Homo-oligomer: A and B are copies of this chain.
Amino acid sequence: MSGPHEAGARIAARPLEARAFAPFGEVIEAAGPPDRIINGGLCGRWHDLARLDFGPGGRAGVSVFRAEPRALPLKLDLLERHPLGSQACIPMTAHPFLVVVAPDEGGAPGRPQAFVTAPGQGVNYRRGVWHAVLTPLHPPGLFAVIDRIAGADDANLEEFRPRTPWIILPPGGSD
């Protein structure tokens, strides 16, 4: 049975793929042929790949995040969501990182899904989507994040801690 009170589940990560991620947001990547060829043929543009949403009273900002690398299997004891805006995470290296998302079930996350990116893949979490914090698998863990900028008292973060951590396994599912 899935639901907010299921905890300690073991979840195998899968390679990140746009269709599987679609309920949660967009994969930001150069997939298929470019939408436009620009700069005299020297550059392809994959155009406008993410549904950005900065909510009422917010504006777009670019920040840099540097996160501690983690290893799989991973004990996942925290999910969060941003009720007022989307959040796009662009890796500034070619290293894969872990993406964990979950459907909402009555105000708490249901069973998470885990993905490992390929080089050249970023993600955009749609507004309100439960997700794990940035989880690089290699140093330096450097990302550009495009998200809502608003006042200091902006209530744009909700956190959820399961009673027992989920265990995220590497692709293939072995410990």
Q: A interface vs B, CB < 8 Å?
A: 28-30, 34, 38-40, 42-50, 52, 54, 59-68, 78, 88, 90-94, 119-120, 122, 124, 133-134, 140-142, 144-146, 149
Q: Which residues of B sit under 8 angstroms from A39, Cβ to Cβ?
A: 67, 78, 133-134
Which residue of chain B is the closest to A78 with respect to CB atoms? B40
**Interchain CB contact under 8 A, A42 and B64:** no
Cβ-neighbour of A92 out of B62, B66, B68, B91 (below 8 A): B91
**Interchain CB contact under 8 A, B34 and A66:** yes
**Interchain CB contact under 8 A, B43 and A65:** yes
Q: How far is the CA of A34 from the CA of B91 in the complex (A)?
A: 18
Q: How far is the CA of A78 from the CA of B146 in the complex (A)?
A: 29
Q: How far is the CA of A38 from the CA of B68 in the complex (A)?
A: 11
Number of copies: 2
Cβ-neighbour of A49 out of B46, B63, B141 (below 8 A): B63
Q: How far is the CA of A145 from the CA of B38 in the complex (A)?
A: 13
| A91–chain B nearest beta-carbon distance, Å | 6
Q: Which residues of B sit under 8 angstroms from A48, Cβ to Cβ?
A: 61-63, 149
Query: Given A90-B144, A133-B43, does the pair A124, B62 have CB atoms closer than 8 Å?
Result: yes
| A168–chain B nearest beta-carbon distance, Å | 15
Q: How far is the CA of A47 from the CA of B152 in the complex (A)?
A: 12
With A39-B134, A46-B64, A48-B63 known, 12 other A-B pairs at CB within 8 A are: A38-B65, A38-B133, A39-B133, A44-B66, A46-B66, A49-B64, A54-B60, A62-B122, A62-B124, A62-B146, A92-B94, A92-B120
Q: How far is the CA of A118 from the CA of B29 in the complex (A)?
A: 23
Q: Which residues of B sit under 8 angstroms from A120, Cβ to Cβ?
A: 64, 92, 140, 142
Q: Which residues of B sit under 8 angstroms from A146, Cβ to Cβ?
A: 60, 62, 146
